[in-house]
């Protein structure tokens, strides 16, 4: 009997972990090379009994853009906010990029943080320099 209850609890708890969390302050970490583009997706669930409308998502600089559900999220439904970080003109070193999510119930901060490195061209005598090919990185909070 105890084994059955334990198995039921484990199954129930694993189902809870796979669900999205309520919209709140969240951060993601990524290390990039100068020139990379990062797509950071923050999943959330509307845990209220009313429609959730996002008034705006305001990134802190021009190197960050946002995409969010403008039509609203029904109660009990999950959706996501995606931030795009373009590291082309970012100086090397640690970085923190934020976006404020404004709702009727308050504001929340989404953060992409990490470290930006410069990759120097590889130069071999008698050959053309090999330049770094920028990557497109996808990360999320699941």
Residue 24 pLDDT: 82
Cβ burial, residue 110 (10 Å; 0-12/13-18/19+):
buried
Residue 21 pLDDT: 62
Residue 10 pLDDT: 37
Predicted confidence pLDDT, tens digits, the chain (142 residues): 444 333 333 333 333 333 456 778 899 999 999 999 999 999 999 998 999 999 999 999 999 999 999 999 999 999 999 999 999 988 999 999 999 999 988 899 999 999 999 998 888 899 998 989 999 999 998 8
Select from 141, 41, 30 the least CA-distant residue to 82.
41
Residue 93 pLDDT: 97
Residues 6+ apart with CB under 8 A from 115: 31, 32, 93, 94, 95
Select from 23, 21, 22 the least CA-distant residue to 101.
23
pTM of the model: 0.80
Residue 30 pLDDT: 96
């Amino acid at each position: 009997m105890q084994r059955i209850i334990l198995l039921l609890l484990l199954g129930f708890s694993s189902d809870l972990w796979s669900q999205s969390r309520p919209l709140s302050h969240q951060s993601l970490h990524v290390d990039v090379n100068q020139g990379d583009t990062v797509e950071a997706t923050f999943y959330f669930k509307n845990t209220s009994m009313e429609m959730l409308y996002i008034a705006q998502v305001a990134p802190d600089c021009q190197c960050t853009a946002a995409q969010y559900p403008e039509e609203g999220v029904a109660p009990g439904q999950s959706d996501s906010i995606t931030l795009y970080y373009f590291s082309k003109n970012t100086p090397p070193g640690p970085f923190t990029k934020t976006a404020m999510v404004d709702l009727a119930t308050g504001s929340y901060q989404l953060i992409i943080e990490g470290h930006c490195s410069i990759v120097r061209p590889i130069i071999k005598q008698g050959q053309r320099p090999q330049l770094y090919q920028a990557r497109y990185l996808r990360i999320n909070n699941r």
